[in-house]
Structure 1
Amino acid sequence: MAVKGKRRPHVLAVPFPAQGHVRPLMKLCRRIASRGIKVTFVNTEYIHGKVFAAMSEEDKKKNSMQLISIPDGLPPEDDRSPGIELMESVIRTMPGNLTNLIEKINCENSGEKITCVIADITIGWILDVTQKLGAESVVFHPAAAAGMAMILQIPKLIRAGNLDTYGSVTKNELIDLSDNIPPWRRNELTWSIPGDLKTQKIAFECFAAAGKTANHAKWMLCNTFNELESSAGNLIPNFLPIGPLVSTNKQESSAIDGSFWLEDTTCFSWLEEQPIGSVIYVSFGSIAVFCQDQLNELALALELSGRPFLWVVRSNLANGSSVKYPNGFRERVAKRGKIVEWAPQEKVLAHSSIACFLSHCGWNSTVEGLSMGVPFLCWPYFSDQFHNQNYICDVWKIGLRLNPDENGLRSRHEIMTKIEMLLSEYRIKVSAIKLKEMVLKNVSGLGSSSQNFDRFIDHLKN
């Protein structure tokens, strides 16, 4: 409830238009709105449509934010997969569209003008626009603090000759920021896109520009917590870790937090039928795609493991097309395998039947898995996922790598072997449980992430 005589604070939030960016920022904004602060959440028109389509009527009634949209500058028929066309269009059109939107909102809501803009660091350069309009600037990083620290180090790394103008590592060496942060190998940087230097250069320039703007932001919010990445946090000015941003109400549909796909909840009745700690959960997030040969190896590995499995298979997982399963595979695994197009992941990972998480190691999946105490089988696809794998396997010791062979494939033998190693390794399970306890401590009332969030809310209100 607003204090009499004071204007109600009004937050405008802008994510990068991709699933892994929209969801954590929506989770954060729902928490902000629950404290009596007005929140306007801005998606592109295409993403706005996907979010609304995935919501039930009940979800829409429970929604506590104003959800609005702006054009992304692309024709309706264009592909919106993260890539050069989308990035160039966002860069070209978003500053003007946001300026017009903010001016319109402020004109129509003179008593509740926008007081703060929270921008995803990927598009952090938009804060140059919002500062000119009198709103306070806040950066949100949906991934690891280590990635945020690396972005802020870009000017220094260019001057030292570690990076060229494409963001490529210029020397055959590791980039090391701190003793307690895993070093980055070639092609493991957040903006790395091997084989597509043109797109990588645009992504790199976006991060470099965002990093310069971020240095002037009031806060740098991050979906992590102090104990998980204290060394990285020490490298970031005005750093405020407020994660992990996992849902606190397990009864609510996760679509209300910005899912782009309808979730198949039939997996829960199936999970209830499986023994405790028995199910291999397989999901590669919203972007990863694989060749058919690789998907055959995975399918046969799951079959040969003899274990129950829940596999999320998007309709475009086979390099943009539907997956073709090995002959007779669906029939042979019918009694112990469940395949869905999209799953309510947090609730799945929290289920007692889950034994491990075969994951692409996106940061959202990483913090969701460690928050539930689930060990990982790591299969990174691109970008920061390789560095997250290094955290999981080398620092936190809660998972194992799935290594490609000389043909670049994860063989059925490799997958089967690592499943057995992971599930028989008691120390990994113990480490996973300890991390889960650490998360619960941090997000509780007296935990550091909880207190940091309270501090942020107090600042917005005062």
Structure 2
Amino acid sequence: MLAVDLEAAAAATKNSFKVMDNQKSHVIVLTYPAQGHINPLLQFAKRLASKGLKATLATTYYTVNSIDSPMVGVEPISDGFDEGGFKQASSLDAYLDSFKTVGSRTLTELIFKFKDSGSPVSCIVYDSMLPWALDVARDLGVYAAFHRIEVYLKAIGMYQSVNKLMCLQNVFDAPYTKHKQKIEDLQKASVKLKRAEAESIYPTRSS
């Protein structure tokens, strides 16, 4: 299921902007530095690469060495806590504030580095936990799209709920009959969530 949804999202990203001067499009995929965020965005970056795009995963200095993917480039940016990551921060708010300030600056530097090396960035796909990336994209005049990790979590929760209710059918026939319509409604809702996964990016670009 995940591969199909990622393929649709990758195709949507590829079609969301035009390639100038026949140059290979380059997408930076910016992830929040937590396992539940890195893995989905890394898979998304791999799917982009499989579609012929140049994909670079941007993550923090503290997590960059834990990622190894031949298909996708991996580049560090700073959250202000390069030695210990989130554990160094006094609170979540302090960490997010630092990541916004330092991350915006170092993401900008990374984009300029690619521009100078002849592989300019065409689009930033950013974790929805890091909305400040949109401001960076607007300032630099590149496309931006956010990736909603929570959609996957909702889909997993819905899937588990449906499975639990289906198991009750074999144990309590009468209650299952009574709640059959609710189960069917849950199944329909889960299909909508699967579609939403493929629509989790919305291109925006400053004029």
Q: TM-score, normalised by structure 1?
A: 0.32
The aligned counterpart of 2:136 is 129
User: Is 1:64 aligned to 2:71, yes or no?
Assistant: yes
Query: How many corresponding residue pairs?
Result: 178
The aligned counterpart of 1:367 is 155
Aligned equivalents of 2:103 and 2:147: distance in 1? 17
The aligned counterpart of 1:88 is 97
Asked if 2 retains the 8 angstrom alpha-carbon contact of 1:33 and 1:65, the reply is: yes
CA deviation after TM superposition for structure 1 residue 374, in Å: 4.8
Does the residue aligned with 1:122 lie in a helix, a strand or coil?
coil
Asked if 1 retains the 8 angstrom alpha-carbon contact of 2:61 and 2:82, the reply is: no
Asked if 2 retains the 8 angstrom alpha-carbon contact of 1:373 and 1:436, the reply is: no
Q: Tell me which amino acid in the other structure corresponds to 1:84.
A: D
Q: Which has the larger radius of gyration?
A: 1
Aligned equivalents of 1:19 and 1:371: distance in 2? 21
Match of 1:47 among 63, 78, 86: 63
Aligned equivalents of 1:44 and 1:104: distance in 2? 17
The aligned counterpart of 1:106 is 115
The aligned counterpart of 2:40 is 24
Kindly tell me: are residues 6 and 50 of structure 1, through their superposed partners in 2, closer, same or farther at Cα, counting changes over 3 Å? same
The aligned counterpart of 1:116 is 123
User: Is 1:35 aligned to 2:51, yes or no?
Assistant: yes
Aligned equivalents of 1:21 and 1:84: distance in 2? 18
Aligned equivalents of 1:429 and 1:369: distance in 2? 19
Does the residue aligned with 1:72 lie in a helix, a strand or coil?
coil
CA deviation after TM superposition for structure 1 residue 115, in Å: 0.6
Asked if 1 retains the 8 angstrom alpha-carbon contact of 2:146 and 2:202, the reply is: no
Q: Tell me which amino acid in the other structure corresponds to 2:144.
A: S
The aligned counterpart of 1:324 is none
Asked if 1 retains the 8 angstrom alpha-carbon contact of 2:67 and 2:74, the reply is: no
Kindly tell me: are residues 449 and 368 of structure 1, through their superposed partners in 2, closer, same or farther at Cα, counting changes over 3 Å? closer
How does 1:221-232 map onto structure 2 within 5 Å?
Answer: 223=151
Aligned equivalents of 2:54 and 2:180: distance in 1? 43
Aligned equivalents of 1:436 and 1:26: distance in 2? 29
Aligned equivalents of 1:456 and 1:83: distance in 2? 27
Aligned equivalents of 2:143 and 2:78: distance in 1? 24
Does the residue aligned with 1:113 lie in a helix, a strand or coil?
coil
Aligned equivalents of 1:45 and 1:442: distance in 2? 33
CA deviation after TM superposition for structure 1 residue 84, in Å: 3.0
How does 1:273-422 map onto structure 2 within 5 Å?
Answer: 364=153, 366-371=154-159, 374-375=162-163
Q: Tell me which amino acid in the other structure corresponds to 2:99.
A: V
The aligned counterpart of 1:338 is none
Asked if 1 retains the 8 angstrom alpha-carbon contact of 2:57 and 2:72, the reply is: yes
Asked if 1 retains the 8 angstrom alpha-carbon contact of 2:124 and 2:137, the reply is: yes
CA deviation after TM superposition for structure 1 residue 42, in Å: 0.4
Q: Tell me which amino acid in the other structure corresponds to 1:368.
A: I
Q: Is there any run of 5+ residues in structure 2 with no aligned partner, and where? A: 1-18
How does 1:9-20 map onto structure 2 within 5 Å?
Answer: 9-20=25-36
Q: Tell me which amino acid in the other structure corresponds to 2:65.
A: G
RMSD: 4.1
CA deviation after TM superposition for structure 1 residue 77, in Å: 4.4
Aligned equivalents of 1:106 and 1:71: distance in 2? 19
Q: Tell me which amino acid in the other structure corresponds to 2:111.
A: I
User: Is 1:435 aligned to 2:187, yes or no?
Assistant: yes
Q: Tell me which amino acid in the other structure corresponds to 1:94.
A: G
Kindly tell me: are residues 375 and 74 of structure 1, through their superposed partners in 2, closer, same or farther at Cα, counting changes over 3 Å? same
C-alpha deviations, 1:217-256, integer Å up to 9, x for none?
Answer: xxxxxx4xxxxxxxxxxxxxxxxxxxxxxxxxxxxxxxxx
C-alpha deviations, 1:18-66, integer Å up to 9, x for none?
Answer: 23333333333232222111111101122223445xxxxxxx4xx4211
Aligned equivalents of 2:50 and 2:156: distance in 1? 22
Q: Which of 1 and 2 has higher RCO (CA within 8 Å, sep 6+)?
A: 2
Kindly tell me: are residues 429 and 86 of structure 1, through their superposed partners in 2, closer, same or farther at Cα, counting changes over 3 Å? farther
Aligned equivalents of 2:92 and 2:161: distance in 1? 34
Asked if 1 retains the 8 angstrom alpha-carbon contact of 2:128 and 2:146, the reply is: yes
